């Protein structure tokens, strides 16, 4: 089962409120108080919330849209008579889909030769670095001197 990161939608408590309603839509104009019709607003999903000031999505709101994108949230306070406030507005990026698994893979045994060759190269490189400052080795390599130090023309 893929790991999906949950999102917490929260808001501050209102002393006069007995509940809250959270609305979600992809359209940012839908929550405009002049157009907002609470539960009757087309293309909007709502969720009543009692006794707390947060929702964990998607766990506590399975109807929350699954399509990835930016969603606009409106949260209203409701009193015991059913009156509702204008919405408090939020927006955020939501994505409740995991990426696909890698298409292929495997486990391979690697030859020991590669490891041995790598160790040999390291030993040779260190030896060369140690010899770099040695004039006798340099001259012997370039052919200018004999092993006894005599110059050859």
- pLDDT recorded at residue 127: 72
Identify any residues that bridge with 140 across adjacent strands, giving them in sequence order.
none
**7-25 pLDDT, tens digit each:** 999 999 999 999 999 999 8
- Say if 75 falls within a structural domain: yes
- pLDDT recorded at residue 59: 93
How many domains does the structure of the chain reveal?
2
- pLDDT recorded at residue 77: 95
- Say if 104 falls within a structural domain: no
Sign of dihedral through CA atoms 125, 131, 133, 136? negative
Each residue of 79-96: b (16+ CB within 10 Å) or e?
eeeeebbebbebeeebeb
* Whether residues 83 and 127 fall in one domain: no
Low-confidence ranges of the chain (pLDDT < 50): none
- Say if 103 falls within a structural domain: no
- pLDDT recorded at residue 25: 87
Instruction: List the domain range (segments joined by +) for residue 37.
Output: 7-94
Do 151 and 135 meet the contact criterion of CB atoms below 8 Å apart? Answer: no
- pLDDT recorded at residue 125: 75
- Say if 27 falls within a structural domain: yes
- pLDDT recorded at residue 32: 66
- pLDDT recorded at residue 44: 80
Q: What is the DSSP letter of 84?
A: B
- pLDDT recorded at residue 144: 62
């Amino acid at each position: 089962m893929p790991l999906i990161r949950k999102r917490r939608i929260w808001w501050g408590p209102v002393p006069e409120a007995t509940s809250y309603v959270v609305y979600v839509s992809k359209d940012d104009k839908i929550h405009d108080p002049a157009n907002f019709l609470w539960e009757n607003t087309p293309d909007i999903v709502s969720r009543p919330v009692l006794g707390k000031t947060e929702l964990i999505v998607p766990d506590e709101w399975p109807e929350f849209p699954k399509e990835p994108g930016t969603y606009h949230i409106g949260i209203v306070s409701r009193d015991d008579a059913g009156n509702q406030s204008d919405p408090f507005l939020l927006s955020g990026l939501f994505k409740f889909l995991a990426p696909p698994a890698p298409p292929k893979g495997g486990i391979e045994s690697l030859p020991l030769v590669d490891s041995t060759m790598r160790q040999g190269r390291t030993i040779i490189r260190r030896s060369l670095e140690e010899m770099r400052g040695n004039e006798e080795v340099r001259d012997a390599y370039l052919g200018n001197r004999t092993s006894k130090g005599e110059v050859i023309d």
